[in-house]
Amino acid sequence: MFAESINAGVTTTATLDNVSIISATPSLSVPGGQAVTSLNGQMPELSADVYPNPTEGRVTVAFSTIPEARITIRVFNSLGEQVLQKQVITITEATEQLDLSELADGVYTIRVDAGISVVTKRIVLAKASGLRP
């Protein structure tokens, strides 16, 4: 079962009995053999930052997430075409360097995907000095 509200800021609650959860998401073990996949009802959130912005080619993607998450970083051009992909396995926090210097100047979307959570950031690639603000 999956329940999600289409309205921002609205909480959807479901009460279920006799449930088994099988997931690639790491979980915590507690006495009694129960698995904990959230703390106080909250799933760990993926957070990410991309800098510098604008950039002349090299950018740092800094992110934090749940332990041992497989992170996929994808870069898309303004046409929505994927121009770069990198996979990382993180402990809890990590930084990855991306080299965009071979790409044309313009606006790019960087998508950081941890499977259960996705963060999207936009970045301006401006190698020619006339494009920098």
- Looking at 3.50.50.60, 2.60.40.1930, 1.10.4080.10, 1.25.40.10, the CATH number of the domain 47-131 comes to 2.60.40.1930
Residues contacting residue 44 through CB under 8 Å, at least 6 positions apart: 38, 65, 66, 117
pLDDT for the residue 10: 66
Partner residues linked to 61 by β-bridges: 50, 96
Note the pLDDT tens digit of each residue in 64-93: 876 677 889 999 999 999 999 999 887 667
Q: How confident is the model at residue 116 (pLDDT cuts 50, 70, 90)?
A: confident
Q: Are 90 and 57 in contact (CB under 8 A)?
A: no
Note the pLDDT tens digit of each residue in 12-22: 666 655 554 44
Other beta carbons within 10 Å of 125? 22
Answer yes or no: is pLDDT of 132 > 60. no
